[in-house]
Structures are given as C-alpha cells and as structure tokens.
C-alpha cells in the first residue's frame, strides 16, 4: 500500500505509531486501540472528548497491515473471542529505512500520496542529501 484513500493512510499511520511503541500485536488488539484510544476526537476545549461516528473493523485493519510495506507478519497468537479460541497473526513494523530503500529501488513511479512515516523518511533523505 503505497497509496490509497486518506482513511486507510491515516489508519496505517496510527497503526505504525502504535506498533512502533508497543511491539507486535494481533489485529484484534490493534482494532481495540484504534477504536477506543486513538480514534477519539476533541472538538473544543470547553467540551468533553467526543467519540467518532466511524470505527474500523478487524477486516479493514487486516487488509491495511497485510498490503502495506510498513508491516510484516511475525508469528501467530491464540485469540479468544467469547468461548472460541482461534489463531491470529501477530503484526509488527518493518524499519522505515528498509521500506523506503525498497520503494526507491522499484522501477515504477511512486504515487504522490504516501503514509506519513514514508513521507517523513523521504523528506529526511532529501534534506540530508543536499
């Protein structure tokens, strides 16, 4: 996922920040964080925090992390939902330098819209190169 809708790019940014800080997590753990911690907006200082009307599903998060070069599968974990136990993939981040190196070595033209970690690393490289 080197481009995409702004909603998915924002989600990739949030997930990248979360996994960078917390380490490998399952899709369910990522969904709980995004929908209950990150995805809360404050409209005005005099008002209390307002929950967003939109939320992200496990399927949407799984598609973003499985298609983005920012993330890699690092193993499996047992997830319990109600009384059912199932295997779930553990996702972690790929070092941003490695991601940008791989993108720069591709033959096709990069899209203008990139996730924030990729944009910041490319800007850093441009500034250091001059």
Task: Give me the pLDDT at residue 109, please.
Answer: 63
Task: Give me the pLDDT at residue 130, please.
Answer: 55
Q: Alpha helix (H) ranges present in the chain? A: 6-22, 27-33, 58-67, 96-104, 116-129
* Higher local confidence (pLDDT), 49 or 80: 80
Strand partners for 101: none
Task: Give me the pLDDT at residue 2, please.
Answer: 47
Average pLDDT over residues 19-26: 94
Q: How do residues 61-106 score in pLDDT, each as one tens digit?
A: 999 999 988 999 999 998 887 788 889 899 999 999 998 888 888 8
Model pTM? 0.78
Average pLDDT of the chain to the nearest whole number:
82
State the Cα torsion 123-103-98-71 to the nearest 10°.
100
């Amino acid at each position: 996922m080197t481009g995409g809708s702004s909603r998915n790019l924002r989600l990739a940014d949030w997930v990248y920040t979360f996994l960078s800080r917390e380490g490998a997590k399952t899709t369910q753990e990522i969904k709980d964080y995004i929908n209950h911690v990150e995805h809360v907006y404050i409209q005005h200082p005099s008002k209390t925090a307002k929950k967003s009307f939109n939320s992200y599903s496990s399927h949407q998060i799984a598609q973003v992390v499985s298609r983005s070069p920012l993330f890699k599968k690092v193993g499996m974990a047992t997830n319990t939902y109600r009384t059912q136990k199932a295997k779930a993939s553990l996702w972690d981040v790929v070092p941003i330098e490695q991601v940008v190196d791989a993108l720069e070595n591709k033959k096709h033209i990069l899209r203008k819209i990139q996730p924030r970690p990729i944009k910041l690393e490319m800007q850093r490289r441009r500034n250091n190169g001059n």
